[in-house]
Structure 1
Amino acid sequence: MSETVTLHYGEEEGDFHIEHVRRTEPFARTNHWHGTYEIYYQLSGQRAYFIKDRTFLISPGDLVFIGKHQVHKTSDVGLPGHERVVINFSDRFIGGDREHPLSHPAMLAAFQSPSRVFSLKLPDQIFVQNILQKMAKEIKERATGYEIYVKLLLLELLLFSGRYSERAETTAIEHQSPVHKKISEIVRHINANYQEPMTLTGLSEQFFMSPYYLSRAFKEVTGFTFVEYVNTTRIREAQRLLKESNKKIIEIAELTGFENIAHFGRTFKKLARMTPLEYRKGER
C-alpha cells in the first residue's frame, strides 16, 4: 500500500516536481537517472540509496542530493515501509542557464559535496520540513504569486544546504564494510570502461572474487544486477551522444560497448522506453 501526492510547476514539463510518498509494502526503484537535480528527504523508515558509485544508508532526517545524470536507486533495508519527499528541478527553473539576480554557486554547492547525504539535527529537520510543506501548499492552492514563492522557497532550501555542506565533515567518507569498498571500486571501473567488453567472469578475475560472490554482493550493495548496471551506464552515455553529437546510431552502439545494433536497440528501448531514433528526434 502507498499514498502519493505529486505536484508539478514550471515553464516547461519537468522544471519542478515535488512528490510526497508513504509506503507500507516492499519497494525498490527501477534504474533511474535524469537531467534534473534531485533532493530526497527521508521522513520515516530506512533505505539503501545507491548514488553514482557507492551506497548510503538513509535514515529519518537525512537530506540527500543527487546531481544531474547520476544513476541512483533506492531499495529496502530491514522492515519494509518508508515515507519520503522528493524534489526535482531544472537549471532553467532556478535561472541556472542564464544570468539571474539570484544565481550563485552556493545554490548548488550541496550537489558537489563529497558526502551527498546530510544527517540533520532536529531543529534543521523542522526547518526543512517547514519549507517542504510550504512548497506543497503553494503549488496546491496556487494563490497569487505562488510561482515566485515556490522558487524563493527552493532557493532558501538550496542556500541552507550549501551552507550546511560547508559545515559538514570534510574528511573522507568511510565505507560501511570492505565489501562496500570493493563494489565501489568495481562500479568506478565500469563507469570508466563501459565501452570495453565486460563480463562477470572477467571482472571477478580482475578483482579477485568468485563470479557467484561478485554477482550476489553487487546486487546487495547497489540494488542492481551486474548486467543491469552495465547496460544502464552504457545507455546513459548513448543518450548523451544522441543528444550532443551527429554520430550515426550504429557508431554510438559501438562506442558504448554493444556488439551489435539489434542488442543496442532492444536494450535502449527497454531502459529509455523509446527507440534511439525517437530519442534523438525528441531531444533536438
Structure 2
Amino acid sequence: MMAIQRSISLSKGDHYFRPDVPIFVNRAVEAFDKIEHRHDFLEISYVGEGSGTHYIGDQALQVHQGDIFLIPVGVSHVFRPAAASDSRPPIVYNCLMAVESIRPLLQSFPGGAELATLLDEPDWQQYRDAFGEFRRLFLKLYDAYTTKRSGWNTELHLAVLELLLYLHRYRDEPSSTAQEPISPGMEMALHIIHNRFHSPITLKEAAELSALGERQFHRKFKSRTGMTFIEYVQSARIDEACRLLRTTDRKVADIASSVGYHDITFFNRLFRKKTGLSPREYRKETGQAH
C-alpha cells in the first residue's frame, strides 16, 4: 500500500515581518481549509476560544481554551475544528518572531540570555494557562499590533519579553511557579474571573470551586496573585473595560454593564482608582473615538 503524502507548505517570515518589526501577531478562526505548514520563524500559539485538534509533528492533540504551544522553526502543524459543523472552532492567537532579530534583544536585556534558550528549543512544547497570565498577554500583544498606537513597537517588544519570561518559568517549573501545587478548582475559579464578566463571582463560590474553605482559599489566592480576591476581580474587570474602550465605540454605561457594574457612579470611581483616568478620558487618551 502506498503511503499518503501530506501536503505541507512553507511559511516565510518575509511575508509577515516589517523591516523594523520582527514580530507579527494575529487572531485566526481555524477551519478545515487551513493547510498544514512549517515556517522559518518561531511561533507561539494560544487557544483563546473553542476547541479542536492540533496536528503538530507526527501527533494529533485535542486542544481547548488555555492551551499554549511553542513551535520551533521547521516544525509542521495546523489547527482544525473537531468537526466540519463545529459551532465553537478553535480561535487561536499567534505571535510570530524572527529568531535572529529577537536574539540580540534578549541578550542585551538583564537576564535575557536565559530566555534566549527558548529560541533554540529543537522540539515543540505545550503548556496550560493555569492563571490567565497568557490570555492577558496575548490580548495585549494583539491589541498593540492591531491598533498601532504611539509607541506600539516598544509595547510589542516588551510584551514579547514578558511572554518569553512566562514560558521560561513554565518550562523550568512545569508544576507552576508557586510553591504549592495548582488546584484544578483554583484554575477554574481564575478562568471564571477572566471569562464571566457580566455576572458576579463571590469569594464563597470561588472557594467552593476550589474545594477549600473561604479563609484558606483567600490565603492561597493572595499568595499566588499578590492581590485579595476582590482586588483581583476588580482589576480583571477594569482591564476588560479598558480593552472595550480602546477597541469599540460602545457607550461607557454599556461597557460598565458588560463587565458586571450596573452602578455607573461606582464604575467610574473604580475605573479612575485603577487607571488614574475617567473612562472617557481613557478612551480619548488611547485614541478611540466615542
TM-score range, shorter chain: 0.3 to 0.5
TM-score (norm 1): 0.48
TM-score (norm 2): 0.47
